[in-house]
Structure 1
Amino acid sequence: MANITVDDKTKVGFIASGKMAQAMAKGFISSGMLKPSQLTMSDPRKNQYHILEEMGVVKTQSNVTVVKESTIVFVAVKPHFVRMVLKEVCQHITKKHLIVSIAAGVSLEGLEEECPLGTHVIKVMPNTPCLVQCGLAVYSLGTHATKEDGDLVKSLLSSLGMVEEIPDRLMAPASAVGGCGPAYMYTAIDALADGGVKMGLPRELSKKLAAQMMMGAAKMVLETGEHPGQLKDNVTSPGGHNYSCHSRAGQTGF
């Protein structure tokens, strides 16, 4: 594969333009990593074109066009469509391409089987907070992908948040924590906000307080390096409100 760097000539394509693809594309654009004109996104549904037009990206109904117009191609279809889509575009994949799949549950081996022999393939699992450039993504290199390929993807994805390389065997548990985790955190924020409203706080203020608290707590874990249990103990006085709350949470299986 030709040496690719992320610059104003880089062409990135998305096969499919669902929520995750949109989150990533919007993150690339809002961070200044890529211009809208550097992105080509496919969607067979013309009624979705207004979203792509608002983003300013190049839109098409053809997956083949995405491959022809791009050097880095993100395969962003649902897992059960991956093999079908790769069969469709296979003959148009060349040595200049880097194929990056964000489809959960599809192994690197399975991806490589549907691409021409020697294709550079990388598997990535991003999460939706990439939309606000505070997400995370983990990636694994395929058989023929090089360290340079990995560095390229890491450089691109770093505009969206934290990026870590992991072995493919750890992709499933990492996806469970990083990909599914936000839903649990949203539930916790909602519950905390409900509690604030119950005690008299306006709904919007209570939601902001809960969300900011969670963001700050997460930053404490990442930047101090302390164990979450220790950080919890640091703000839990014997017999105090925090102790009572944690004790009750433990009793209810939190």
Structure 2
Amino acid sequence: MASQLTFIGAGNMASAIFGGLIDNGYPAEAITATSPDEDMLKQHRARYGIQTTSDNIAGVSEADVVILAVKPQIMRQVCEPLQDALQISRPLIISIAAGLTIETLGQWLGDDSLPIVRCMPNTPALVGEGATGLYAPSGLGESHRALAGELLSAVGIVEWVEEETLLSAVTAIAGSAPAYFFYMLEAMENAGVERGLSRDTARRLAIQTALGAAHMAKESEHDPKTLKQQVMSPKGTTERAIASFEQAGFEKMVDDATLACFDRAESLARELRDQ
């Protein structure tokens, strides 16, 4: 029998996860989503056939797993009213909120002994190609770890980290990183237009090239550095382009950007803890 899942919050990431679960055969009737937005809930009922409610307490009362999928800034006001209901049902809690530590979540939920898993998914989960980092404290049971991994793997790959602070690194190289690649695609599209291509043609070529390169990197036995070198011929066009990237400090630029993201994730955690 499938575990009863309740999503507190029914936005894009929540719907990506329960949509992926349903696409992979999870029974829709075992999934509940809550939101104050009745129009959103109506759309989810029609599209997915899940249960919905605007009453968070009712939603968690019989849940085996509660997925916290609201913005970090409103998480406290969402969690605190659930304390009594969670003391009775004691479900597995999975938080997809950036920056909120398990210690902070435990305080807001009124019990630091509740089983809690933190995860950092990214937006390609919307198309079943997500990359999710997961962390659980050492005392969490293996069955809870396995269940959390199974649920999140419905929308892409999952990687467990051994320290909670490493979720900030996951944010830097996966959680926020789709925007980095979109930025690169935007720049390539504009460059193609500058060289005389139509915008539609430049966009299609850039997107397909990114898709093909990512697929090659995923399937190849070689690392990205080797794959890069395999495209480069001595004194050829690719070598000239890579040299230009190197002269502009591309690798440092990427490192600086991911460090800025990492630092912001860490500072956000402190701000949310102290609010």
TM bracket (short chain) = 0.7 to 0.9
CA distance in 1, matches of 2:161, 2:190: 38
Q: Considering fraction of residues, name the structure with more helix.
A: 2
| Superposition RMSD in Å | 2.1
Residue 191 of structure 2 corresponds to which residue in structure 1? 195
Aligned pair in 2 of structure 1 residues 225, 95: CA closer, same or farther (>3 Å)? farther
Residue among 165, 170, 176 paired with 2:160: 165
Residue 95 of structure 2 corresponds to which residue in structure 1? 101
* Alignment pair present for 1:113 and 2:113: no
* Alignment pair present for 1:35 and 2:35: no
Residue 20 of structure 1 corresponds to which residue in structure 2? 13
Give matches, 1:125-204, under 5 Å: 125-142=120-137, 144-167=139-162, 168-204=164-200
* Alignment pair present for 1:82 and 2:78: no
Deviation, 1:117, is 4.9
Question: Is the Cα–Cα contact under 8 Å of residues 118 and 144 in structure 1 kept in the other structure?
Answer: no
Tell me the amino acid that sits aligned with residue 98 of structure 1.
L
CA distance in 1, matches of 2:83, 2:201: 52
Give a deviation string over 1:73-131, Cα, whole Å, max 9, x none.
10011112222222111111145511100111011111122333531111111111111
CA distance in 2, matches of 1:12, 1:52: 15
Deviates more, 1:218-227 or 1:128-137: 218-227
CA distance in 2, matches of 1:184, 1:33: 33
Give matches, 1:50-89, under 5 Å: 50-56=42-48, 57-89=50-82
CA distance in 2, matches of 1:197, 1:250: 23
Residue 217 of structure 1 corresponds to which residue in structure 2? 213
* Alignment pair present for 1:230 and 2:226: yes
TM-score where L is the length of structure 1: 0.87
Tell me the amino acid that sits aligned with residue 190 of structure 1.
E
Deviation, 1:143, is 5.5
Question: Is the Cα–Cα contact under 8 Å of residues 11 and 71 in structure 1 kept in the other structure?
Answer: yes
Aligned pair in 2 of structure 1 residues 117, 233: CA closer, same or farther (>3 Å)? closer
CA distance in 2, matches of 1:114, 1:142: 17
* Alignment pair present for 1:92 and 2:85: yes
Q: State how many pairs are aligned.
A: 246
Residue 4 of structure 1 corresponds to which residue in structure 2? none
CA distance in 1, matches of 2:44, 2:235: 55
Deviation, 1:242, is 0.7
Residue 124 of structure 1 corresponds to which residue in structure 2? 119
Deviation, 1:144, is 4.2
Deviation, 1:141, is 0.9
CA distance in 2, matches of 1:223, 1:13: 35
CA distance in 2, matches of 1:233, 1:175: 28
The runs of 5 or more residues in structure 2 that have no matched partner are: 251-275
CA distance in 2, matches of 1:238, 1:198: 26
